[in-house]
Structure 1
Amino acid sequence: MRWTSMLAIYALFWVLSGFLVLPFGLRTPEEAGQDIGRGHVASAPVNFRPGRVALRATVLSLALFALFYANFREGWVSAADLDWTRWLGASD
């Protein structure tokens, strides 16, 4: 696998991981015991830390990419294993 392909796949894992870890650790004003200011939505988080989200996304995406690359090298799950028509009993 070329390094450019690895970089593109890692970037996809990073974005997906960012969306997966985004809601963890956030608190609403009600949960934090704060008053909701005028013009603010009650569900808006009061403790959003983008650096922490990026760090968590980086750690998770590294783990996911390591599993992906290990599968690529070792061939644990192939495209033929994911052929759902075989599971339904369809003939070739």
Structure 2
Amino acid sequence: MKITSIVAIYALIWVMSAFIMLPFGVKTHDEAGIAKVPGQADSAPANFQPGRHAFRASIVAAILTALFVLNYIYGWVGADALNLFEELLSTPT
């Protein structure tokens, strides 16, 4: 696998993990006990830290990309292992 492919896979996994992890660890102003600004949405985060969030997404993406590349090299899980409908489509003998 080329390094450019690994970088592209890492970028895709990074975006996916960043969006999945977005709601975790964020508190609203009511939960944090902070006064709200007039007109502010009730669900607005009070303590959002984008740098910390990006760091966590980077760690998760690095681990998942490493597992993906190792699976590509060693072939632990292939397409034949993911065929969930094999029993339904096979003809009885």
The TM-score with structure 1 as length reference comes to 0.91
Which residue does 1:50 correspond to in 2?
Answer: 50
Return the letter of the residue paired with 1:38. Answer: P
RMSD (Å), alpha carbons: 1.3
Counterparts of 1:52 and 1:21, CA distance in 2:
11
Partner secondary structure for residue 59 of structure 2 = helix
Aligned to 1:72: 72
In structure 1, the residue corresponding to 2:65 is in which secondary structure?
A: helix
Amino acid at match of 2:61: S
Give the TM-score of the pair, scaled to structure 2. 0.90
Return the alpha-carbon distance in structure 1 between the equivalents of residues 44 and 79 of structure 2.
42
Instruction: Work out the CA distance in 2 between the residues paired with 1:22 and 1:43.
Output: 13
**C-alpha distance in structure 2 between counterparts of 1:52 and 1:75, whole Å:** 34
Q: Structure 1 residue 34: deviation in Å? A: 1.3
**Is 1:4 matched up with 2:4?**
yes
- Counterpart in 1 of 2:88? 89
Residues in 2 aligned to 1:25 and 1:47: alpha-carbon distance in whole angstroms: 9
Partner of residue 63, structure 2: 63
How many Å separate the matches in 1 of 2:18 and 2:34?
Answer: 27
Return the alpha-carbon distance in structure 1 between the equivalents of residues 22 and 68 of structure 2. Answer: 22
AA aligned to 1:56 is R
1:24: Cα distance to partner? 1.6
- 1:3 CA drift (Å): 1.3
Structure 2 gaps, min length 5: none
